[in-house]
A and B are shown apart, each in its own frame.
Chain A
Amino acid sequence: MAYLSSGRGLDDYVDWKRDIVFRDTAASSAIKVFFDLAGYVVADGGQTRVRVYSPSAELIWSRGKPGPGPSEFMRLRSAVRTAGGEVIALDNAGKLVVYDSAGNYRTTLRTGLMPTYGVRLLDPSTLLISGRRAGDLDSPLLHLFDLRTGSVRSSFFTTPPHPPRFDAAYRFNGWANAAVIGRDTLAVVFALSDTLYLHRFDGSPIGKLPLRLRGFRPIRTPAPRNDSPEAEIEWRNSYTTMSDVFPGPDHSLFVQYFNEKQVELAWGLARVRLGAGGIEQEFDLPETLRLLGVSLPDYSLYFLRLDSLESVTWSVGQIAR
């Protein structure tokens, strides 16, 4: 493999620093990664494994399997690590499993949310969980979970207005993700909307700004009513999904989206800046590598390459100055 370049349009904007090769046949595309100075916490939804790596990408421990029991997950979604080293993993059924820094199971917390989409660590005692209240079709999508009390403190960000014929799509394919920008501001993306929503940490709205992404295709047809997987694939191939948002250097944001082609995902990435006149775009690359995340404090960008049977590569770079 000869990487450290060919980032499909990214080369003009990213200084590539290194490639990290994981000799890992198990890792699937359904991964979420948490980055901190202690290394990486990988939540592999495809394999239902939480894997903790050192900064040099050595596997330290690995836990989890499918199921309802302790240290088992009903579709693993995401994981974070606290400043104290505890790893907290979230599954689709709203269960939070807490491990100590050595990977020993500590406890399970119930959020009352299902389905869930992701989790971010907002401050030492607060998780920002993306998901829906179990059984509530009109639930808010973002929830502040207090680790001290083990309960949801508040919820906000309801599904944006949309035509009624898209109700099913907005309920079952509409999720939200958020990035912390500044000391008290969240940048939120909703899966089916080409818009950036700004909220305070307490959930109060600040405003919303159009993103105007080149590769974005709005949803135009309702979700298929029949049970045909072929019809569902065709429908999913017809619109764009906003997948995530990450903080960037110099008060910028990275907004990620994807278009489905058959069952593969074509990842798009835009870098935007919040200016006085609205959103200023630094770049918008409709087909590029998937950004796994951004590690602070140096804003290293980790891109995923899944093109080898035996290994997975993360290409690491920083925005070119």
Chain B
Amino acid sequence: MVCRTNRALSALALLVAFAGTTHLLHAQGRPAAAMTLASNVRPERTVSALWVIRTADIVACETAAAELRRQLSQHGGSLQLTVLYLGGDTAVVHSFLRRERLASARVERGTERGLRRELADRAANLRTSPPLLVLSAAGVPQRVLFADVRTPEGRRDVDRLSTELNVMLSRTPMSRDVALTYYRGGEP
């Protein structure tokens, strides 16, 4: 097949969008359309997944696409997928999403520089290197997963996606309490 596997790109973008600032992400030459992590989340108990990818991730054969398809299929409208593309022309990311049967995902553009600038002082304890999955509930980012399935660490993180989403999307009050405890850092 036609995959690019042997080229490491050095560019590392700093994530991530904690706090949902409206000016966080900037498309090239103009602000992105009010793109915030919070803006994707409307009803309660809806989780948004923000998939941060670059062109280099797109041309790799192995991505988190299959796991995202599985989760979207399982959770239906409760899971909203947005792709934050750290690149220029979005034609390539739309092409990629059609290829991966994820064409319904919303696409936004951002820049690595913009992310770094906005988040430099918050990134110390965060995963910073794309591809990433940022999971938010009720507009509040809860988890950042490393989504590079070409690495053992990335595969481990993507394998956690199902568990993370199941907890975040739990529909019983008790489960929601458990989830809140879980995400506040205590033992459920």
List residues of chain A with CB under 8 Å of any chain B CB. Answer: 25-30, 45-48, 66-67, 75, 227, 229-230, 232-233, 236, 241, 260-265, 306-310
Q: Please give me the residue from chain B that is nearest to A306 by CB atom.
A: B101
Q: Please give me the residue from chain B that is nearest to A23 by CB atom.
A: B73
Q: Given the complex, which residues of A lie within 8 Å of B21, measured CB to CB?
A: none
List residues of chain B with CB under 8 Å of any chain A CB. Answer: 1-5, 7, 9, 54-56, 58-59, 61-62, 65-66, 69-70, 72-73, 87-88, 91-92, 94-96, 98-102, 104, 149-150, 152, 155
Q: Is the CB of A30 within 8 A of B9?
A: no
Give the distance to chain B from A251, nearest Cβ to Cβ, in Å: 30
Q: Is the CB of B99 within 8 A of A29?
A: yes
Q: Is the CB of A263 within 8 A of B59?
A: yes
Q: Is the CB of B66 within 8 A of A46?
A: yes
Q: A66-B155, A260-B2 are in contact. Are A30 and B70 (CB under 8 A)?
A: no
Query: For the complex, what is the distance from the CA of A94 to the CA of B45, rounded to whole Å?
Result: 47
Query: For the complex, what is the distance from the CA of A30 to the CA of B5, rounded to whole Å?
Result: 14
Q: A26-B70, A47-B66 are in contact. Are A264 and B9 (CB under 8 A)?
A: no
Q: Is the CB of A227 within 8 A of B9?
A: yes
Query: For the complex, what is the distance from the CA of A64 to the CA of B134, rounded to whole Å?
Result: 28
Q: A26-B70, A230-B55 are in contact. Are A262 and B91 (CB under 8 A)?
A: yes
Most buried by A among B101, B102, B150, B152: B101
Q: A236-B2, A263-B92, A265-B2 are in contact. Are A307 and B101 (CB under 8 A)?
A: yes
Instruction: State the majority secondary structure of interface residues on A.
Output: loop
Q: Is the CB of B73 within 8 A of A310?
A: yes
Partner of B95, one of A48, A227, A261: A261
- Tally A-B pairs: CB < 8 A: 83
Query: For the complex, what is the distance from the CA of A310 to the CA of B3, rounded to whole Å?
Result: 24
Offer 6 A-B interface pairs, CB within 8 angstroms, sorted by A. Answer: A25-B66, A46-B61, A229-B59, A233-B55, A262-B92, A263-B95
Q: Is the CB of A232 within 8 A of B5?
A: no
Given contacts A27-B66, A229-B56, 17 further A-B contacts (CB under 8 A): A25-B69, A25-B70, A48-B62, A66-B155, A229-B54, A229-B58, A233-B55, A260-B2, A262-B92, A262-B94, A262-B95, A263-B58, A263-B95, A264-B99, A309-B72, A309-B73, A309-B104
Query: For the complex, what is the distance from the CA of A262 to the CA of B150, rounded to whole Å?
Result: 22
Q: Is the CB of A232 within 8 A of B9?
A: no
Q: Is the CB of A230 within 8 A of B104?
A: no
Query: For the complex, what is the distance from the CA of A309 to the CA of B100, rounded to whole Å?
Result: 9
Query: For the complex, what is the distance from the CA of A262 to the CA of B59, rounded to whole Å?
Result: 10
Query: For the complex, what is the distance from the CA of A25 to the CA of B95, rounded to whole Å?
Result: 19
Query: For the complex, what is the distance from the CA of A25 to the CA of B69, rounded to whole Å?
Result: 6
Query: For the complex, what is the distance from the CA of A176 to the CA of B86, rounded to whole Å?
Result: 35
Q: A30-B61, A46-B62, A75-B61 are in contact. Are A227 and B7 (CB under 8 A)?
A: yes
Most buried by B among A27, A229, A241: A229
Most buried by B among A27, A236, A309, A310: A309
Q: Please give me the residue from chain A that is nearest to B54 by CB atom.
A: A229
Q: Is the CB of B69 within 8 A of A26?
A: yes
Q: Given the complex, which residues of A lie within 8 Å of B94, measured CB to CB?
A: 262
Most buried by B among A27, A48, A263: A263
Q: Is the CB of B2 within 8 A of A241?
A: yes
Q: Given the complex, which residues of A lie within 8 Å of B92, measured CB to CB?
A: 230, 233, 262-263
Q: Is the CB of A232 within 8 A of B4?
A: yes
Q: Is the CB of B98 within 8 A of A264?
A: yes
Q: Please give me the residue from chain A that is nearest to B89 by CB atom.
A: A230
Q: Given the complex, which residues of A lie within 8 Å of B55, measured CB to CB?
A: 229-230, 233
Q: Given the complex, which residues of B lie within 8 Å of A230, measured CB to CB?
A: 55, 87-88, 92
Q: Given the complex, which residues of B lie within 8 Å of A45, measured CB to CB?
A: 1, 61
Query: For the complex, what is the distance from the CA of A46 to the CA of B88, rounded to whole Å?
Result: 26
